[in-house]
Amino acid sequence: TLARVYVSRKVPPQGLDILRKSAQVQMELWDSDDPVPRRELLKKVKGCDGLLCVLTEKIDSELLDAAGPNLKVVSTMSVGFDHLSLDQLKKRGIRVGYTPEVLTDAVAELTVALLLATSRRLIEATHEAKTGGWGTWRTLWLCGYELANSTVGILGLGRIGVAIAERLKPFKVKKLIYTDVVPRPELAEAIQAEFVSMDELARQSDFLAVCCALTPDTQGICNKNLFSKMKNTAIFVNTSRGGVVNQEDLYEALSSGQIAGAGLDVTTPEPLPNNHPLFTLKNCVILPHIASASYTTRNAMSALAANNLLAGLRGEPMPKELQL
């Protein structure tokens, strides 16, 4: 008998093709670029064996109750899993697929781009060039900070943190440091990064990149306490999850000159309302959560999510399964 699956977004074609060609499943699709309304989702998951979702869907006990006892697999097209209630999924014996590794290169590239856009003030600069601020060449106008001879700090050293560090090294970074709940010598060795405390990370970093997962332990850890120890010349970048940052504290640090600039690909909430105070700051570059947004990567994520779903439904090991 066919497994019933619901796909809660028009994911890129590679994944949809895999599901359409599978003789194993009967797929229903929310055929839109925008999120499925919650009420519709709760209705559609009823009786499903599998669910393929994206990060805008909260997979909590309400949803799992609505789905009912047939649900065996939840496959998310994301590396982040803070939208999933892992304890609820575990309790019900539902297996979870996600999409690590395939997006590491794209996220690392975007993080470097965002870091440089922030440190060299690119968004401000194009705005000035276009809107009449470019009166003449001036000696200190639009000056920023160099990676050469700098110390780069990584908060949360995983695959993505390593990939960012590898890309920054050729910019003649002098020193790489990182912090995490425990030292990660096998990852740190490849990039010759030194393990330091959170305090030292704040104190020493000229560039601080947040690369950790959002969990109850990392919620709001980038706060007043951290920013107050950072250099006035430091650049802060976050391509993980907005919840890791206390945004009021960040606003205060940026507007008071406590730190020099911030580049954010993720915020709380998303989208960030366009009247949000952070949008008034020239030294804050805000992107609409696009770190993994290359055609190659989004298709690879879609295909991996589809293959995770199919393997899970067959009761086989998934290509990338989250251990609950």
Contact 154, 165 (CB under 8 A): yes
Neighbours of 278 (CB within 10 A): 18
Measure CA 207 to chain center. Answer: 18
DSSP 50-68: EEEE-TTS-B-HHHHHHH-
CA distance 279 to 142: 19
| Catalytic residue check, 127 | no
Residue nearest to ligand GLV (CB): 80
CB of 319 to ligand GLV, least distance (A): 15
The residue among 4 and 320 lying less far from ligand GLV, judged by its C-beta, is 320
Pair type for strands 235-238 and 261-264 = parallel
Per CB under 6 A, residues contacting ligand GLV are 55, 78-80, 103, 292
- Token pair listed for 224: 């007043």
The residue among 50 and 243 lying less far from ligand GLV, judged by its C-beta, is 243
Nearest CA among 107, 166, 109 for reference residue 301: 107
The residue among 180 and 265 lying less far from ligand GLV, judged by its C-beta, is 265
- 59 to 52, 121, 134, 267, 303: CA distances (angstroms): 11, 38, 50, 20, 21
CB of 96 to ligand GLV, least distance (A): 13
CA distance 249 to 228: 9
The residue among 108 and 193 lying less far from ligand GLV, judged by its C-beta, is 108
Determine the residue type at 202.
A
Contact 322, 215 (CB under 8 A): no
Q: Among 83, 127, 276, 289, which one carries the catalytic annotation?
A: 289
Q: Which residues are catalytic?
A: 289
